[in-house]
Amino acid sequence: MSRNIYFAGSIRGGRDDRELYHRIIQQLKQYGQVFTEHVADPALEKDLNTDDKEIHDRDMEWLHKSDALVAECTQTSLGVGYEIGRAVALNKKILCLYRPQTGKRLSAMIRGAEGDGSPLICKDYKEELPEILKTFFASL
Ligand SMILES: O=c1[nH]c(=O)n([C@H]2C[C@H](O)[C@@H](COP(=O)(O)O)O2)cc1CO
């Protein structure tokens, strides 16, 4: 079944994982339409003068229309955290992906939002992303 999917990844929070976002988005496309392909766009780095209100309002509209939010949370980003919070409030299904690293931990406000009927789950991963996505979308 085709879904509307919102992918969240760091932009102004730092672009170290941009190529990884591209690979995740390619995998997400087998499960539905991804509204936010631009998150992996290398041209965005040069385009930081786009109107912020337009970006925010467009993205919130996409989030409302989405069945699921998939967020790569390893690179800390205020925008990604905000999107996750808004998605929780909208009771969207949320998958937070995190690559464990020594000396760093995922925010307690994300990891701690799991459980007790929450629509959010966190998955630590290295290589096993296809299986994690398959299980997540099968559960929707
Ligand atoms: O230009 C943008 N376009 C855009 O869609 N976003 C959204 C999508 C990303 O999942 C998230 C990134 O937030 P941030 O830029 O704070 O790292 O915010 C964020 C920006 C810049 O803040």
Please indicate whether residue 66, judged by its CB atom, sits closer than 6 Å to ligand 1: no
ipTM computed for the complex: 0.99
The dihedral through the CA atoms of 3, 23, 15, 137 has a sign that is: positive
> Over 80: is that where the pLDDT of 45 sits?
no
- Domain 3-138 in CATH 3.40.50.450: yes
Mind listing the pLDDT tens digit for each residue in 73-126? 999 999 999 999 999 999 999 999 999 999 999 999 999 999 999 999 999 999
* 3 state DSSP class of 19: helix
- The pLDDT, as a whole number, for residue 48 is 64
Give the start-to-end residue ranges of the domains of the chain: 3-138
Question: Is 12 a pocket residue for ligand 1 (Cβ < 6 Å)?
Answer: yes
Tokens matching residue 19: 């190529």
Please check whether residue 70 is in contact with residue 135, taking contact to mean a CB–CB distance below 8 angstroms: no
- Whole-angstrom Cα distance, residue 2 to residue 17? 26
Distance CA 4, CA 69 (A): 9
**Whole-structure pTM value:** 0.97
Ligand 1 pocket mutation pick from 12, 57, 110 by most atoms within 8 angstroms of CB: 12
Name the residue type at position 118.
S
Average pLDDT over residues 15-44: 96
- Write down the pLDDT at residue 96: 98
At how many degrees (to 10) do helices 129-138 and 18-28 cross?
40
Q: What per-residue confidence (pLDDT) applies to 49? A: 65
CA 80 / ligand 1 centre spacing (Å): 7
Q: Could you tell me how many residues make up the chain?
A: 140
